[in-house]
Amino acid sequence: MANPLFDTLFGLHAGSDAPFLHLPSGQTVSYGEFLAQAARIANATASIGLKPGDRLAAQVEKSPQALALYAACVQAGLVFLPLNTAYTVEEVTYFIEDSGAAVVVCDEAAREGLAPVAARLGAGLETLNADGTGSLMAKADAEPADFPTVARTGGDLAALLYTSGTTGRSKGAMLTQGNLLSNAQALVREWRFGAEDVLLHALPIFHTHGLFVATNITLAAGGSMIFLPRFGLDQIIAQLPRATAMMGVPTFYTRLLGDARLTRDLVARMRLFISGSAPLLAETHRQFETRTGHRILERYGMTETGMNTSNPYAGERRAGTVGFPLPGVELKITDPEAGATLPRGEIGQIEVRGPNVFKGYWQMPEKTRAELREDGFFITGDLGRIDADGYVQIVGRNKDLIISGGYNIYPKEIELVLDEQAGVLESAVIGVPHPDFGEAVLGVIVPKTGEAPNLEAMDAAVRRSLARFKHPRALVLMETLPRNAMGKVQKNVLREQFKDRFTGA
């Protein structure tokens, strides 16, 4: 193939009248219309001097045009760099400088702040607004609706995605055409997507989940998407009867469960609910199945790899696990110090290898060597175990490991006990400085609405279930846990908030 990613995901749909995007306005965008717009944008990028291999950074609101910009970059052989719309000018400056982006596309409202940055770094600046207007689209509208697809190989870069950078500088994960295409094709087969599917899409498209999982799967299957700008409960409730599948983060499901309109009748047409980006509570699993008759399917992925594992489509979807490695993906649990593979059931670091695994970190050869082994296994930084039946369970991040008095303590083990106690909605266990033990265990509890958990009873339950060195030194109540844009609990924020709890500082 001349351009594997474009030819497989986009090229087959050229000129098709089949629906691709269903918009909140009631308008439907066909595949043919979408690809014509992408071709115009590709022509526009060429007209402003971009050439294959150049990086294009986009900090824009979700829209059909923003999605067409991704398609245009693939067709033109550009490296697409989507940026979180919440990033500040200072954060975006780092990404532009580090990536060497040739052009930055932003909302008109951000232009004034970014213009001096782009000028200083020698990058062009174009605008694209949520309503589809802006300088980039003005240029694109004057271009022809066809573009000669640039030849690429599976090993060529397609995207550059920066990790969150909670521990030091953000790292740019280099994702190839082969990475993205292999993952999309594997997931279409595993989750049984077809042309008849209508995916309810309320995720952001600056992230792997909404862009490379949801969108690429739909393209590969030839299905369509109900393309919502964001998660709005009323909009989701209104659109669920039209959809066959939904991908979301745990917050989507807890908010749906809080609305009496979520019934079996409402989701009668649905065949699949998928959750990821953060762990789903076992209670959420149970409540959702009781209310809807659907068992949510959890999977596990990350920026550097796309999806690695999934609970089975046909078979037991086991709460508290992320299922089995995808076909073509190898997963093993290793000792964090020695790197040796551990026996089944033991906790260690998760390593993965497969066609989905990224090429390395942009301009960070030392980081690449430290985390991507010569044999192709990527050290994910996640801790986990494989149970007796082969299901993978995520225990936490390696950096979340608590070392207290010389003992290794895995927060998830304690959180599972706390989450089962009366009146508890969810919990987060962290390690904070302690003068005697180095670190001490602190449990942060979020009560269910209108309930007041008995902290003494909870402490007693932990003492019955876990070894003494794992017992929290204190339990504290909070209304909510701090989370990032994808719903992951920000334990670094909690550690900072409670860092003086036991030191008297």
Confidence at residue 167, expressed as pLDDT on a 0 to 100 scale? 45
| Domains 4-16+29-176 and 231-397 equal at CATH topology level | yes
Backbone angles phi, psi at 429, to 5 degrees: -110, 130
- Who's near 464: CB < 8 A, 6+ residues apart? none
Q: Are 273 and 253 in contact (CB under 8 A)?
A: yes
**What string of H, E and C letters represents the secondary structure of 346-400?**
CCEEEEEECCCCCCEECCCHHHHHHHECCCCCEEEEEEEEECCCCCEEEEEEHHH
Q: Measure CA 179 to chain center.
A: 15
Confidence at residue 384, expressed as pLDDT on a 0 to 100 scale? 94
DSSP category for residue 483 = B
On the CB side of 247, CA atoms within 13 Å amount to: 29
Selected residue with higher pLDDT from 165 and 393: 393
Q: In the CATH scheme, what is the homologous superfamily, with its name and number, of domain 401-497?
A: ANL, C-terminal domain (3.30.300.30)
Q: Dihedral through CA 36, CA 192, CA 385, CA 418, nearest 10?
A: 90
> Is 4-16+29-176 in CATH node 3.40.50.12780?
yes
The domain limits of the chain are 4-16+29-176, 231-397, 401-497
Residues in the chain: 505
Dist CA 268 CA 354 (whole Å): 37
Lowest mean pLDDT among 338-342, 410-414, 485-489: 485-489
pLDDT in tens, 368-390: 999 999 999 999 989 999 999 99
Confidence at residue 362, expressed as pLDDT on a 0 to 100 scale? 97
Q: Looking at the predicted structure, is the pLDDT value of residue 321 above 90?
A: yes
Confidence at residue 156, expressed as pLDDT on a 0 to 100 scale? 98
H/E element, 227: strand 224-227
- In DSSP notation, 161-208 reads EE---SSSS--EEEEEHHHHHHHHHHHHHHHT--TT-EEEE-S-SSSH
Q: Looking at the predicted structure, is the pLDDT value of residue 63 above 70?
A: yes
pLDDT in tens, 139-193: 999 999 999 999 999 999 999 999 864 445 789 999 999 999 999 999 999 999 9
Q: Looking at the predicted structure, is the pLDDT value of residue 416 above 60?
A: yes
Strand boundaries in 311-347, DSSP class E:
324-325, 330-334
Selected residue with higher pLDDT from 135 and 404: 135
Lowest mean pLDDT among 26-30, 90-94, 164-168, 228-232: 164-168
For the 231-397 domain, the top CATH level (class) is alpha beta
Q: Are 42 and 75 in contact (CB under 8 A)?
A: yes
Mean pLDDT on 466-487: 87
Dist CA 472 CA 489 (whole Å): 19
Confidence at residue 164, expressed as pLDDT on a 0 to 100 scale? 61
Dist CA 382 CA 150 (whole Å): 37
Q: Looking at the predicted structure, is the pLDDT value of residue 47 above 80?
A: yes
Q: Give percent above pLDDT 70 in the chain.
A: 98
Q: Looking at the predicted structure, is the pLDDT value of residue 1 above 60?
A: no
Q: Looking at the predicted structure, is the pLDDT value of residue 138 above 70?
A: yes
Tokens in use for 118? 């782009």
Q: Are 75 and 36 in contact (CB under 8 A)?
A: no
Q: Give percent above pLDDT 90 in the chain.
A: 78
pLDDT, mean over the chain: 93
pLDDT in tens, 278-297: 778 888 899 999 999 999 99
Instruction: Classify 270 as helix, strand or coil.
Output: coil
Mean pLDDT on 212-241: 97
Selected residue with higher pLDDT from 420 and 87: 420
Phi/psi class of residue 433: alpha, beta or left (left: φ > 0; alpha: ψ in -120 to 50)?
A: beta
Dist CA 201 CA 189 (whole Å): 19
Q: Are 441 and 414 in contact (CB under 8 A)?
A: yes
Closest Cα partner for 219 from 380, 20, 17, 483? 20
Where do we find the tokens 């009146």? 423
Predicted TM-score of the model (pTM): 0.84
Lowest mean pLDDT among 133-142, 233-242, 323-332, 444-453: 444-453
Dist CA 326 CA 308 (whole Å): 6
Lowest mean pLDDT among 106-120, 135-149, 357-371, 466-480: 466-480
